[in-house]
Amino acid sequence: MTMDGKGEGEKAFLEGKLSRRALLKRAAYLGVATSLGSSLLAACGDNTATPAASGATGTQASGSAGGTKSLKFANWASAETATKDNINKALAVFEKDNNVKIENIGIPFDQVLQQLTTMTNGGNPPDVMQLSGNWPYALGGAGALADLGSLVTDDWRKDAFTNSFEVGTYKGTLYAVPFTVTPHGFWYSKDLLTQAGLDPAKPPKTIDELNQAMSAMRSKLPADAYPIGIDISKTEYALVGFWPWIWTFGGNPMADDGKGNVTINWADDGTVAAFTWLQGLVKNKLTPPDQAIKAERELMANGKIAFKLDGPYLTGIFANTNPNLKTVEAVNSKFGVSTTPTGQGVSKPVTAADIHNLGISAQAKDKALAWKLIQFLTTSKEVITTFLIPQGGMLPRLSYNTTGDYAKPYADPINQAFIKDVIPSMRPPAYGPRYSTAASFIVSALQEIAGGADVKQRLTRLNDEVKTVYLG
């Protein structure tokens, strides 16, 4: 700009040195540059949305386009090669029957909570979400999930496995319904029991029997085979496998009163006993020192691990891992399932309530349509036969597993043990919005204790860490 306030171009134009065409051309260039700048500045702006504003965004994303409604469904089934095609086939049927377009969002299992949280806070959550473990509590507690209490019929509640609705309920509000029920049962290898001179028809029923069996196995099995597999990875899922042992030894380090108030004592006697037992397992080479659950499944499939807590889907994993275990009959001939051995802390066997469930976003515009998708996913023949049964978990309605058209795949001894013995022993851990944060500290302590850290000292420190998480 010149001192008199006129731009060089304008001045030149007024003095007749610049043609009108040239002036307009320059103005056009400037306009394009300015609008580009505005767009980029907008992109730099804050995208934090209030729940109400987010709802509006969600409306556009999951509303109707050209007369066809659309729904966003986030799940890990679509992100896994083994299940991707099956869930897609089933969803295609729903799309056709309901004139709905499903936007299928596949998220790897270990990123689901992080992605759902980010999408929700970004104002663009999926309408329906596949959930697991603590996620209904984390998302429900943060206000991201809708209350499904009024949508669930009494028939379903009466026809459900023990605690399968409870693990989707936080502070009395139902945020998630069961999709597939997959708690850990006590798997045992009949071959390795026989090899150790033990009766393959009589798996250990108590911790004392388990310890005796493991000692016998250690002396008779080769060095690369282990009596038991404990997941010692730095993942929240490792806790699903260790909670039953903590409870069995009488520990109750985190207890929720149902109103969101959590009592914390990681240094109680039972918890100390459980972690001391774990340390002894590693020290005495009764369990691999550093393996995660996936590696231990492979080891068990190949005759290198005798006992392990794991879900009913292990039959399918064995079939994919070992060519000699291709059929359900083959798996049943080599392995059996029982309940977690009992210890001094419990009168009955116990396992963590680990189920996969379904929730609806609090920001979903068409909750009726979202609920229709959930009903489809939990009751339709397409989903049950092409996805749920091949996946290996128990069906969300108890009767489906025991009578009628779908019951046959669940008639083998292993599935029957899950239905009759393991699932009734399910107990929810102290899930809540801060559980995942606490779990991060707990699995660190679990690894350090397995590696030889002083049990009492480390658990006392863990107690401080977890209290900081909950109390600030």
Q: Which residues bind other proteins (CB under 8 A)?
A: 8-9, 12, 18, 22, 26, 29-30, 33, 36-37, 40-41, 43-44, 46, 114, 117-118, 121, 138, 141-143, 223-224, 232-236, 282, 285, 288-291, 295, 299, 304, 433-434, 436-437, 440, 444-445, 447-448, 450-453, 464-465, 468
Least distance from other proteins to the Cβ atom of residue 57, Å: 16
Whether 74 and 111 have beta carbons less than 8 Å apart is answered as no
Q: How many CB atoms lie within 10 A of CB 47?
A: 12
Least distance from other proteins to the Cβ atom of residue 288, Å: 6
First to last CA, the chain: 57
Q: Which is nearer to other proteins, 231 or 366 (CB)?
A: 231
**Lookup: tokens for 244:** 């039953």
Q: What is the DSSP string of 313-334?
A: THHHHHHHH-GGG-SHHHHHHH
Q: Which is nearer to other proteins, 233 or 357 (CB)?
A: 233
Q: Which is nearer to other proteins, 14 or 411 (CB)?
A: 14
Beta bridge pairs of residue 426:
351
Least distance from other proteins to the Cβ atom of residue 122, Å: 11
Q: Which is nearer to other proteins, 3 or 43 (CB)?
A: 43
Q: Which amino acid is at 48?
A: T
**Lookup: tokens for 257:** 């009163």
Q: Which is nearer to other proteins, 23 or 93 (CB)?
A: 23
Least distance from other proteins to the Cβ atom of residue 235, Å: 7
Q: Which is nearer to other proteins, 36 or 255 (CB)?
A: 36
**Lookup: tokens for 396:** 């969300």
Least distance from other proteins to the Cβ atom of residue 48, Å: 9
109-142-258-150 Cα dihedral, nearest 10 degrees: -90
Least distance from other proteins to the Cβ atom of residue 447, Å: 4
**Lookup: tokens for 285:** 């080479």
From residue 181, alpha-carbon distances to 127, 177, 394, 407, 466 in Å are 22, 11, 5, 15, 29
